[in-house]
C-alpha cells in the first residue's frame, strides 16, 4: 500500500480506470461474439450487428482502451467473414 497521499490517489484512479477499460473490453468481446453468431447463422441483422461492433472498436481505440493495430486487425477479420458469408448466399 502506498504511504504518500498522491500515490494513494493514483492507486485509486488506476483501479477506477482499469475497471472502466475492462468493461469496455468485455462489451467489445460480447458484440464480436454476437456478430459472429449472426454471420454464421445467416441472420438478416448480421450486417447491422457488425456495423455496431465496428463502431464500438473505433470508440475503444479513441479512448485508448485498445491499440489501433488491434482494432484494424479485428475489424478486418470481421469484415472478411461478413463478406464471405454474403458470397456464399448468392
Global confidence as pTM: 0.86
What pLDDT, in 10s, does the model give residues 14-24? 999 999 999 99
What pLDDT, in 10s, does the model give residues 48-76? 999 999 999 999 999 999 999 999 999 99
Whether pLDDT at 1 is above 90:
no
Spell out the domains of the chain, with CATH numbers in brackets: 5-89 (1.20.58.110)
Q: How far apart are CA 61 and CA 69, in angstroms?
A: 9
Phi, psi for residue 80 in degrees, rounded to 5: -60, -45
What pLDDT does 7 receive? Answer: 95
Mean pLDDT of the chain, nearest integer: 93
Mean pLDDT within 6-31: 96
Q: How far apart are CA 52 and CA 64, in angstroms?
A: 18
Amino acid at each position: 500500500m502506498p504511504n504518500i497521499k498522491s500515490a494513494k490517489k493514483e492507486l485509486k484512479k488506476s483501479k477506477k480506470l482499469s475497471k472502466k477499460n475492462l468493461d469496455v473490453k468485455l462489451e467489445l468481446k460480447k458484440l464480436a461474439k454476437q456478430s459472429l453468431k449472426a454471420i454464421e447463422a445467416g441472420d438478416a441483422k448480421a450486417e447491422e450487428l457488425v456495423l455496431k461492433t465496428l463502431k464500438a472498436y473505433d470508440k475503444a481505440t479513441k479512448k485508448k482502451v485498445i491499440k489501433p493495430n488491434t482494432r484494424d486487425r479485428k475489424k478486418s477479420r470481421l469484415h472478411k467473414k461478413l463478406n464471405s458469408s454474403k458470397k456464399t448466399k448468392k
